[in-house]
Chains A and B, each alone.
Chain A
Amino acid sequence: MSGVLSAGRIAGLLGLGLSALLPMVLLAIWSVGDRWFYPALWPSRLTAESWRTLLSGEGRLWAAGATSMLLAAGTGAIACIVALPVGRALARLDGWRGHLGAAMTFLPVAAPPVALATGLQFSFLSLGLGGRPIGVLLAHAVPAVAYVSLYFTGVFTGFDTRVEEEARSLGASAGQTFRFITLPLLRRPLAEGFALGFLISWAQMPLTLLIGGGAVRTLPIEVFAFVEAGQDRIAATGALVLLVPALVALAAARLAARGTEVAAL
């Protein structure tokens, strides 16, 4: 019995490993492959051309990567700043009101991006935000704030407010309590919230396309454009670049989570 189980576990482990790593390996090969046609299992030629262009800083991928980085960092920051108090307020809601609040917060997260973007395009353009990075930033903030709010709601549910109450009863002002008591306790959730907001903006496509109007070029937009144009090699390079910061953000969040109950994972 245990023999079968172990065999199953090994098989499962291999399957998981393959599923997690194969895409990255494939993309890596595709990014340097030249003339790779069926039925060849390996490109007939290898070329570092797309990587060279990328790293030389002159390609569209480089500029798009920078734009994505700035937008994602901005989104992460906005998401944290706004979601923290929102999450806290939501956590205080009990019973059905709490669930109602959570449902409302969840709407921007679950809404199909195409639907959301189409619905928002008019309002954003009237506000003069169309085709500009600030507009795209605010557009990304919509699902990000919601997502991170839900996260902070979880953080603040069961958050022990006794320390804060003691500080207040000892005479500290609200601001002081926040800065010296609450904030240090929230270092890890803030890091994770930032990572969440970052990732949402980083991978976003329909919102950027419809609000940015093609003028704001983020990495996913460029990768998609190259895929649509049949330029697989460049698209694969872009896709790998798209992947790396996302993995880094995830690793950082998990490292930050070590030593807590979430580290059961």
Chain B
Amino acid sequence: MGPSPSIPATTLVTLAAFSLAAASCGRAATPPPRDLARIPWDSLAASARGSTVTWRMWRGDPSINAYVDRWVSPRLLQRYGITLNAVEGQGAEIVNQLQVEKEARAGGTADLVWINGETFHQLRQADLLYGPWSGRLPNAAWVDSASPIISRDFEQDPMGYESPWGTVQFALIYDSARTPAPPRSYAELRQWILAHPGRFTHDQGFTGITLLKQLMYALGGGVERFQGGFHEEVYATASERIWRWLEEVRPALWRGGGSYPPGVAELHRLFANGEVDFTMSNNQNEVMTKVAQGIFPETARALLLRDGTIANAHFVGIPANAPNPAGAMVVADFLLSPEAQLEKARSPVWGDGTVLAEERLPGDWATSFAELARNPRALPRDSLARYARPEVDPEYHERLAREWRSRIRRGGS
């Protein structure tokens, strides 16, 4: 009997047992949700009482988090008995997660996801969303489905697989103290960049590519040319113009156009600290929340270009493997309620546009929306409407991103 290998032996056995136990505790793949469309709404809502809904959403903005955690969450608990668990998750992460979960036949972890555009496209293509369901929400009746911004997500028909939540419009952001006379069109922007070398750039992420997409509309003769699906020839001509435009201004960009900030947050930092004079946002009201948070100087303002900026809606979807789709639907319905939409639209809260057709709302709702405290920094609604341009097929965005990386950034195709 020697001094023991029994120590390693027992440990190895324990370890193996532990892993097996952990594996067997693993969630078995949940069966696809029953056809909840058959169940009347009230029973559905009742069945969700006492359950938890896990909502994967972008959690990078404290204002949005405050709205969700401190306004939406308590009301959901109080009125519907639903505990909302809002966790971080964006676009690509969500798609990857759902994809790998499907491949591994693992159970789902998210009940509700905050998505739009590309993400929706990928999820639908890979058949990762539950649906159709959004049409049966009671509050869906108030949605402004006549609006092209809301009824289409990057030109795709949601077909009930996602429910609209809010609308935003792209805007440039500038400092009125530093730049009293900002450019108002892409042509003027080009002049401005050349006249102020090193003071403009865009980020590598979604917002930066959206800027290029708008440039594409402007240089390509208007958004109408790009509607109705993706057209290779249309894209090819327009993108050549974009690359030429970018190459012309490249030497005058920040860092000589050799380096671009990784994300829009870094761009915000450059702007706030005076390294560049412009930043941008997909949400025209972000400038107000950031000023309130002390991240932007008080003289920061939003700017629309006369060539038009992209307005789009963002949505919530339910993954196909959601453990609690009924609860998710109740949450989505509450998010659509006039009360929740009004609160969300207030500037100090979030300033996110509503998806509801205000004129059709009963009672005083229409007036309440109209009376939303007008912040002098906010862009006037008629300007927003006049310069709003819809999104087009997501393939345009994907191609722009990929080719920008390989042709202009040259970083890693």
Query: Do A and B contact each other directly (Cβ–Cβ < 8 Å)?
Result: yes
Interface on A for B, CB 8 Å cutoff?
A: 34-35, 37-39, 45, 47, 60, 81-82, 84-86, 88-89, 121-122, 125-132, 134, 138, 161, 164-165, 168, 174, 177-178, 209, 213-215, 217, 221, 225-234
Contact between chains at B22 and A34 (CB < 8 Å): no
Interface on B for A, CB 8 Å cutoff?
A: 3-8, 11-12, 15, 19, 22-23, 25-28, 54, 56, 59-62, 65, 87-89, 93-94, 97, 100-101, 103-107, 109-110, 263-266, 268-269, 272-275, 290, 293-295, 297
Of B26, B54, B61, B104, the contact of A229 (CB 8 Å cutoff) = B61
Contact between chains at A174 and B6 (CB < 8 Å): yes
Contact between chains at B106 and A34 (CB < 8 Å): no
Expressed in whole angstroms, the Cα–Cα distance for A81 and B54 within the complex equals 34
Contact between chains at B8 and A89 (CB < 8 Å): yes
Expressed in whole angstroms, the Cα–Cα distance for A138 and B22 within the complex equals 10
Given the known inter-chain contacts A38-B274, A228-B263, please indicate yes or no for A161 contacting B3, CB distance below 8 A: yes
Known: A128-B26, A168-B3, A177-B3. 16 other contacts (CB 8 A): A60-B65, A82-B11, A85-B7, A86-B11, A125-B103, A125-B104, A127-B23, A128-B23, A134-B22, A138-B19, A138-B22, A213-B89, A215-B56, A229-B59, A229-B60, A231-B60
- A-chain residues with CB within 8 Å of residue B25 when the two chains form the complex: 128, 134
Of B6, B56, B103, B295, the contact of A214 (CB 8 Å cutoff) = B56
Expressed in whole angstroms, the Cα–Cα distance for A221 and B59 within the complex equals 11
Contact between chains at B4 and A230 (CB < 8 Å): no
Shortest 6 CB-CB contacts between residues of A and residues of B: A128-B26, A229-B60, A230-B265, A131-B109, A126-B104, A125-B104
- A-chain residues with CB within 8 Å of residue B87 when the two chains form the complex: 214-215, 217
Given the known inter-chain contacts A35-B294, A174-B4, please indicate yes or no for A214 contacting B93, CB distance below 8 A: yes
Given the known inter-chain contacts A88-B7, A165-B3, please indicate yes or no for A226 contacting B109, CB distance below 8 A: no
- A-chain residues with CB within 8 Å of residue B275 when the two chains form the complex: 38
Q: Can you report 29 A-B residue pairs in the complex whose CB atoms are below 8 A from each other?
A: A37-B297, A38-B274, A60-B59, A60-B65, A82-B11, A84-B7, A84-B11, A85-B11, A85-B12, A88-B7, A121-B100, A126-B105, A126-B106, A130-B100, A130-B106, A134-B22, A164-B3, A165-B3, A168-B3, A213-B97, A214-B88, A214-B93, A215-B109, A228-B60, A229-B61, A230-B60, A230-B295, A231-B61, A232-B269
- A-chain residues with CB within 8 Å of residue B264 when the two chains form the complex: 230
| A231, chain B: closest CB distance, angstroms | 6
| B274 nearest in chain A by CB position | A38
Expressed in whole angstroms, the Cα–Cα distance for A132 and B89 within the complex equals 15
- B-chain residues with CB within 8 Å of residue A230 when the two chains form the complex: 60, 264-266, 268-269, 290, 295
- B-chain residues with CB within 8 Å of residue A168 when the two chains form the complex: 3
Expressed in whole angstroms, the Cα–Cα distance for A161 and B62 within the complex equals 58
- B-chain residues with CB within 8 Å of residue A231 when the two chains form the complex: 60-62, 293, 295
- B-chain residues with CB within 8 Å of residue A132 when the two chains form the complex: 27, 109
Contact between chains at A89 and B5 (CB < 8 Å): yes
Expressed in whole angstroms, the Cα–Cα distance for A34 and B296 within the complex equals 10
Contact between chains at A213 and B93 (CB < 8 Å): yes
Expressed in whole angstroms, the Cα–Cα distance for A89 and B4 within the complex equals 10
- B-chain residues with CB within 8 Å of residue A126 when the two chains form the complex: 104-106
Given the known inter-chain contacts A35-B294, A213-B109, A214-B56, please indicate yes or no for A234 contacting B93, CB distance below 8 A: no
Expressed in whole angstroms, the Cα–Cα distance for A127 and B54 within the complex equals 21
Contact between chains at B107 and A128 (CB < 8 Å): yes
Expressed in whole angstroms, the Cα–Cα distance for A217 and B264 within the complex equals 23
Contact between chains at A38 and B273 (CB < 8 Å): yes
* Residue with the highest number of chain A CB atoms closer than 10 Å, among B19, B65, B100: B100
